[in-house]
Chain A
């Protein structure tokens, strides 16, 4: 087994893990605060990717400088999170908080199905490819192997920034502390005058924006076709389950684990490519059913 292959697999895994982390941490955050397993999360990823690609292509068509593509990716993610995520929360989810989980699952699944078709109507079924930002950043050489700067440096940096930023936001700032407080004790939060409805809406928008950011970043590296949301959703579920739902640092480790596992499979045992993430999940859940980083706790009612 040539060592370059091993290195290549590791770098690929890092890039892929970064992407999955962004999606999974959003899913995990939404579950942690709202208690909802959001099946529509994959759609935010897909719509984020399409909107970002459309924005980047429009920039190119207008003859604007390529570096503008980077703010475009961020703006696309925020727009999708605020508009699509906000609409879903306000119009549908707030009606099912505290209801049976089956109902919540059906509602988010219905949103997912609707959004899947809406994407086809808006963006068509032809593949979209907007790799201008990736080409613009060029390549770096690592031990004789050329790798795109976008995947090797930018994507992991964004994931790291999100990890550090989220930790800071949730642990230190008053707004983040309010989100955690509502999760711990909704009654006390209400008694102190914390507006739980607003906390839920903003958490959902942050979670949806993170998924859309994952999609926006991915849009430069791959061609977009209908169905990309579903595949990412399932993987991010695996990550969130391995980490223990609601764990941010855990999601980072689990995403890296899945990313590395999957790319190792792609290089050395391609027939296991699809299977590996679930094998990892199965082994982890057999040993620790609550996930790697979760402590068993009863939720206060």
Chain B
């Protein structure tokens, strides 16, 4: 495959008696939109955690842009250009939206200042532009706690995008989002990813979302990527329909 930017190769991880990853491999090419689907509790988040440094595999390796990142810290991996958002947005609820972005940016760049006000961060304008791109410019000065879940999801993703990653892992970007907001969130997201030429890998349960927004689907089963292909191939695959999607053919 040409233009591979991330390769997870034969990852193994066992917690106690659970084989969470058992030979998991995935190649991600530039500008792909890969959806990972699979049963609940099967370890899809574990796979993301392994790729982003939050967990270390017992064997196997993760290579990003030609560099082995398997043993690097999440911070180091983020700085290389791999972003990540969480299933439950990890935001400071009592702070404003723009403060969250600036805190994340300062943390990732290490650009802390004990003297100048944070709102005068040299990149504050860029963060406002990012919020504008996500369609949240008007909410920049609002407290996160007051905002609905769909917006928090977008803010969490904006936080991940603050450092201009080349690749972003998103853990269920539409979970907790109402069905009316869902497509809106995904449309915005796709627009932003396209605008920034960011590659994305996302875990998703909603097959409508998968069919509409992914250009490749990977099926997680038994601690590894068991099948992969275009959305059409995978969503019509009899075994996948039965085990993952939960409807017989």
A134 to B144, CA, bound (A): 50
Task: Tell whether A173 pairs with B115 under 8 Å between CB atoms, given A192-B103, A194-B103.
Answer: yes
Chain A positions 159-205 with a Cβ under 8 Å from a chain B Cβ: 169, 172-178, 181, 184-185, 187-189, 191-195
Question: Which one, A177, A185, A187, A193, contacts B74 given CB within 8 A?
Answer: A193
Nearest A residue to B91, CB-CB: A188
By a CB distance below 8 angstroms, the chain B residues around A192 are 90, 100, 103-104, 107-108, 159
By a CB distance below 8 angstroms, the chain A residues around B103 are 174, 177-178, 181, 192, 194
A193 touches B118 (CB 8 A): no
By a CB distance below 8 angstroms, the chain A residues around B99 are 177
A184 to B118, CA, bound (A): 18
Closest Cβ–Cβ distance, residue B99 to chain A (whole Å): 7
Task: Give 26 pairs: A residue, B residue, CB < 8 Å, sorted on A.
Answer: A169-B114, A172-B117, A173-B116, A174-B102, A174-B112, A174-B116, A174-B121, A175-B112, A177-B99, A177-B103, A178-B103, A178-B112, A181-B95, A181-B103, A184-B92, A184-B94, A185-B93, A188-B90, A189-B92, A189-B107, A192-B90, A192-B107, A192-B159, A193-B78, A193-B108, A194-B107
Chain A residues within 8 Å of B, Cβ to Cβ: 169, 172-178, 181, 184-185, 187-189, 191-195
B118 touches A172 (CB 8 A): yes
Closest Cβ–Cβ distance, residue B219 to chain A (whole Å): 27
B107 touches A175 (CB 8 A): no
**Chain B interface residue number, banded:** 20 to 34
Q: What per-residue 1/0 map shows which CB atoms of B113-128 lie under 8 Å from chain A?
A: 1111111010000000
A-B contact count (CB 8 A): 64
By a CB distance below 8 angstroms, the chain B residues around A185 are 92-93
B92 touches A188 (CB 8 A): yes
By a CB distance below 8 angstroms, the chain A residues around B71 are none
> B86 at interface (Cβ–Cβ under 8 A)?
yes
A176 to B103, CA, bound (A): 10
Select the residue from A169, A174, A177 with max chain B CB neighbours within 10 A. A174
A172 to B93, CA, bound (A): 17
> B139 at interface (Cβ–Cβ under 8 A)?
no
Question: Which one, A173, A184, A189, A195, contacts B117 given CB within 8 A?
Answer: A173
A69 to B94, CA, bound (A): 43
A93 to B212, CA, bound (A): 52
By a CB distance below 8 angstroms, the chain B residues around A175 are 112-114
A188 to B156, CA, bound (A): 11
Nearest B residue to A168, CB-CB: B117
B113 touches A174 (CB 8 A): yes
A189 to B159, CA, bound (A): 12
Select the residue from A173, A185, A187, A191 with max chain B CB neighbours within 10 A. A191
> B111 at interface (Cβ–Cβ under 8 A)?
yes
A174-B102, A176-B114 are known; give 9 further A-B pairs, CB within 8 A.
A173-B113, A175-B113, A181-B95, A181-B103, A188-B91, A192-B100, A192-B103, A193-B74, A193-B108
Nearest A residue to B94, CB-CB: A184
By a CB distance below 8 angstroms, the chain A residues around B75 are 193, 195
